[in-house]
Amino acid sequence: MEIRIRTDIIFGLILCLVFLSGCRKKIPIKEKVYCLDWADMPYHNQTEDDIINQLGKPDKTTLLKIYKSNNWFSIYRPLIRFLPTYTDTVLIKELYWKQDSYFLYYWLINKNSVWTSVDGIMYDPDHVQF
């Protein structure tokens, strides 16, 4: 009795396992809920690496220099509260993902050389305007 190993089947199974292990975890949204603010979102005060391990690589990463101004787009205005008292600017790292029809933002501040989440929002741009 001869046992033959089908390399194509084994290769296919390995590909499936790799694909499934690399899938992003999605933040669940209830039906007819179009926006989650920071209080409703997970990953509070977690490091950038912890969040990326949960959600996968962000679609976009941006560094924002926030300063006192009324000219910020509405979604960014609340970030002004993170301005330290000793300076008029703060550097914030923005991580962005698109999940289905939702935009997901996490904002992080560098604390002791570690980027840590301090705020975020998830919303459906077709239903929520700022």
pLDDT along the chain (130 residues), means of 10: 60 45 72 91 96 96 88 86 89 96 96 95 86
Looking at the whole model, is its pTM more than 0.75? yes
| The pLDDT of residue 7 | 62
Q: Tell me the domain boundaries of the chain.
A: 27-123
Q: What is the pLDDT of residue 34?
A: 92
Burial of 106 (0-12, 13-18, 19+ CB in 10 A): buried
pLDDT at res. 19: 44
Q: Which helix (H) or strand (E) holds 8?
A: helix 7-21
Write down the pLDDT at residue 16.
42
Identify the pLDDT of residue 11. 52
> What pLDDT shows up at residue 6?
65
The CATH number of the domain covering residues in 27-123: 3.30.160
Helical (H) or strand (E) element with 11 = helix 7-21
